[in-house]
Structure 1
Amino acid sequence: MNILLATYWPIPHLGGVWPFMLQVKRRLEQLGHTVDLFGNGPDSPKYYIVNQERELSKEFILPMLQRKLNENANPLLNMDPWVRNVELDRYCLELSAAYFGLDHYDIIHAQDVISALAMSRVKSKHTALVANVHGSLASEVILLLQRNQDPGYRESPVWKYYWALEHYGSAAADVTITSTTWMKNILMQNFSVPEQQISTFPYGLDTDQFWSICAQGTDLTAPDGKKVIICPARLVYIKGLHFLISALQLLNQRRSDWVCWIVGEGDKKEDLMKQAIQAGVAGNVVFLGHRSDIPALLQQADIFVHPSIQDNQPFSVMEAQVSGLPVVVSNAGGLPEMVQHEVTGLVSPVGDVNMLASHLEFLLAHDEVRANMGAAAKAWGTEYWSMDLMIGNLLKVYQRALWPNKNSDYTHLN
């Protein structure tokens, strides 16, 4: 099959979408399929197909769109600058895809609701469309509007626009994939996506690639006499790192035999560093920035922590479990489906910094419990995050999208 993995987001990207696309591409190509990657340019305003000389500059497209979509022609679009910018970018995506040509693809596998909606409008009828909803974009917008104390957010153009994106983008595909029951329920209950539209199965982790990167090692080592708490995450509001800093402030009042490695970049980095200084934990909290050696860093760590406000099925938790670390997480989104409380890790309510601090303190103080939880996490994660199982499920979805009314087996797709 000829397959296009498409996304609205920049690629390469610091979030989980990019590694998901890469590992799906690798595995499908091993099975004999042809896979292209399409997305936003990471450093320049363009849409492009990775590793091919096919790109289209937004600077070429935008003047035409801005003339067509001015305030007189489309007043609703221009009611909010945020909505206008996203919608213009979606049109750029559509026009770029149409310019490159989609007729030769059997499957377009969109990685977000924006690209799913865009591709549905320009693809050929014979090309099947699958949408992977990795997280609820509209729900994140709700959190932002609530954070800004906007009581009438449900009447705002931003909320109405993102509700429509989530609904129509999810429903535009022949099949919509979610990796957690939480995400499935969000789509059904909040965005009116029919249950029969949705296929739910967990992500897999390419452990061969993971251990290959791990074998390359790292230049960092755990400091003497300190246990390492590690938190790989984008440094953005939704990941809840501000809760972690507050919890570490409480932990620091009780014991000092720890260091916390925060791995990642994001628009909250400066704020978090200032918070760490004000909390008196700057000496124990190390901001490592973007790293390509996270698998090796996990081998240096003792505890993994993920205090997210909203999340679906983060790759970082999967990697920590496969590495044999006990995971300390919030109960946000799909995280409780990944972690069995007091067996493979510890789960606390979102934003409960006292409980988060207590969980970290407990694992620091109890070496045997920490080791047992890590071993249980490794056994469970190694079995459950099977890449072969995920690809098998994905091929079944491709078959369902291509031949929705046929029940033939899919062995010819392997």
Structure 2
Amino acid sequence: MNILLATYWPIPHLGGVWPFMLQIKRGLEKLGHTVDLLGNGMDPPKFQMVNQGRGLGKEFILPVLERELNGATVPLLHVNAWVRGIEMDRYCMELSAAYFGLDHYDIIHTQDAISTIAMSRVKGKHTPLVASIHGSIAREVMLGLERDQGSACRQSPVWKYYWGLEHYGGVSADVTIASTNWMKNILVQQFAVPEQQITVFQYGLNTDKFWSVCASGTDMAAPPGKKVMICPARLVYIKGLHFLISALQQLKQRRSDWVCWIVGEGEKKGELMQQALQAGIGQDVMFLGHRMDIPALLQKADIFVHPSIQDNMPFSVIEAQILGLPAVVSNAGGLPEMVQHEVTGLVSPVGDVNALASHLEYLLSNDEARVNMGAAAKAWGAAHWSIDQMIGRILQVYEQVSEQAKEKGGVR
């Protein structure tokens, strides 16, 4: 099959859907399929077929869009600058995809709501479209709006736009894949996506590169006499790292036999570093920035921590479990489907700083429990995070939608 993997988000990228797309590409190519990658690009801004070295600069598209979609012709598009920016970028994606050509693909597999809507509008009538929804960008935005503006924001153009974005992203494909039941329930209950539209199966992890990075090692080492807690995450509000800093402040008052490595970059980095300094734990919390050796860093750690406000199925948890680390996580999103409380880790309510501090203290002080939970996590990881199993399930979906297209008269 000729397959197009498409995303609205920038590719290549340090995180997000990019590692997932690469894993699918490599897995499918091993089985003899041809896979192209379409996504946003920078320097200069463009949409690109990244594996082909082809791109279409937005500077060629935007003048046409701005002339045709101005305040007089489409006034609703100009009510909010944020909405206008995303919509103009979506139009750029549609026109770029049409320019590159989609007719030769047997399957188009999108990786987010925006690209799903875009591809559904420009693909051939009988080309099957599969969507993987990795998280709810609409819900993240809505949580932020409610936090800043209160319930009145529900009547705002931005709120209504993002609701529509998530809804139409969920229904525009032939099949929508969610990796957790939490994600499925969000789509069904909050965004009116029909339940029969959605199939659920978990991610997998291609461990070839993972073990290679582990074997290469790292220049980081645990300080003598201290255990390492590690949190690889984007330094943004939704990851809940401010809760972690507050919990570590409590923990420091009770014991000092630990350090915490926070691995990643993001807009909240300066704020979080300042919070740690003001909490008196500036020497105990190390902000390591972007690292290419995260698997090796995980090998050096004793406890994995992930205090998210919202998350679906983070790869960092998968990697930690494969290496046998007990996980201390919040009950946000799909995390309770990954971590079984008191078996493979400890789960606390989102934002419960006291519980988070207590869970970290328990694993620091109880070596037997920490080792046992780590062993259980490793066994869970070995049983659940198979890349071959994930690729097999994706191919089953591809075959299903291909058969449906043939029945509708779309034989290629």
How much has 1:363 moved relative to structure 2? Answer: 0.3
How much has 1:139 moved relative to structure 2? Answer: 0.7
1:147-206 deviation line (CA, Å, top 9, x unaligned): 113321211111111111111111110100000001001111111111111110000111
| Structure 2 CA distance for aligned equivalents of residues 253 and 174 of structure 1 | 54
CA contact (8 A) 1:106 1:127 kept: yes
Please name the residue that 2:197 is paired with: 197
Please name the residue that 1:351 is paired with: 351
How much has 1:14 moved relative to structure 2? Answer: 2.9
Counterpart amino acid of residue 46 in structure 2: K
1:377-401 deviation line (CA, Å, top 9, x unaligned): 0001111111111111100111111
Counterpart amino acid of residue 29 in structure 2: E
How much has 1:96 moved relative to structure 2? Answer: 0.6
Aligned: 1:233 with 2:233: yes
Aligned residue runs from structure 1 range 258-337, under 5 A: 258-337=258-337
Counterpart amino acid of residue 366 in structure 2: H
1:329-357 deviation line (CA, Å, top 9, x unaligned): 00000000001000000000000011000
How much has 1:62 moved relative to structure 2? Answer: 0.8
Counterpart amino acid of residue 175 in structure 1: V
How much has 1:404 moved relative to structure 2? Answer: 2.1
CA contact (8 A) 2:127 2:405 kept: no
Aligned length: 407
Please name the residue that 1:64 is paired with: 64
1:216-261 deviation line (CA, Å, top 9, x unaligned): 2111111111110000001111101111111111111111111100
| Structure 2 CA distance for aligned equivalents of residues 69 and 9 of structure 1 | 23
Aligned residue runs from structure 1 range 161-180, under 5 A: 161-180=161-180
Change in CA separation of 1:406 and 1:366 when aligned onto 2, cut-off 3 Å: farther
TM-score (norm 2): 0.97
- Structure 1: unaligned runs, 5 residues or longer: 408-414
Aligned residue runs from structure 1 range 66-105, under 5 A: 66-105=66-105
What's the secondary structure of 2:254's corresponding residue? coil
1:89-144 deviation line (CA, Å, top 9, x unaligned): 11111111111111111111100000000000111123211000000111111111
Range moving further from structure 2, 60-69 or 77-86: 60-69
What's the secondary structure of 1:259's corresponding residue? strand
How much has 1:368 moved relative to structure 2? Answer: 1.0
What's the secondary structure of 1:177's corresponding residue? strand
CA contact (8 A) 2:181 2:334 kept: yes
Counterpart amino acid of residue 34 in structure 2: T
Change in CA separation of 1:108 and 1:72 when aligned onto 2, cut-off 3 Å: same
CA contact (8 A) 1:6 1:108 kept: yes
How much has 1:2 moved relative to structure 2? Answer: 0.7
Please name the residue that 1:106 is paired with: 106
CA contact (8 A) 1:12 1:42 kept: no
How much has 1:43 moved relative to structure 2? Answer: 4.1
Aligned: 1:384 with 2:384: yes
| Structure 2 CA distance for aligned equivalents of residues 324 and 85 of structure 1 | 43
CA contact (8 A) 1:106 1:126 kept: no
Please name the residue that 2:410 is paired with: none
CA contact (8 A) 1:16 1:315 kept: no
Range moving further from structure 2, 148-157 or 252-261: 148-157
Counterpart amino acid of residue 231 in structure 2: C
Counterpart amino acid of residue 358 in structure 1: S
User: What percentage of residue pairs aligned between the two structures are identical?
Assistant: 74
How much has 1:15 moved relative to structure 2? Answer: 2.8
Please name the residue that 1:411 is paired with: none
Range moving further from structure 2, 143-152 or 117-126: 143-152
Change in CA separation of 1:351 and 1:43 when aligned onto 2, cut-off 3 Å: farther
What's the secondary structure of 1:219's corresponding residue? coil
How much has 1:53 moved relative to structure 2? Answer: 2.9
CA contact (8 A) 2:128 2:405 kept: no
TM-score (norm 1): 0.96
| Structure 2 CA distance for aligned equivalents of residues 175 and 8 of structure 1 | 18
How much has 1:54 moved relative to structure 2? Answer: 1.1
Q: Give the RMSD, CA atoms, in angstroms.
A: 1.2
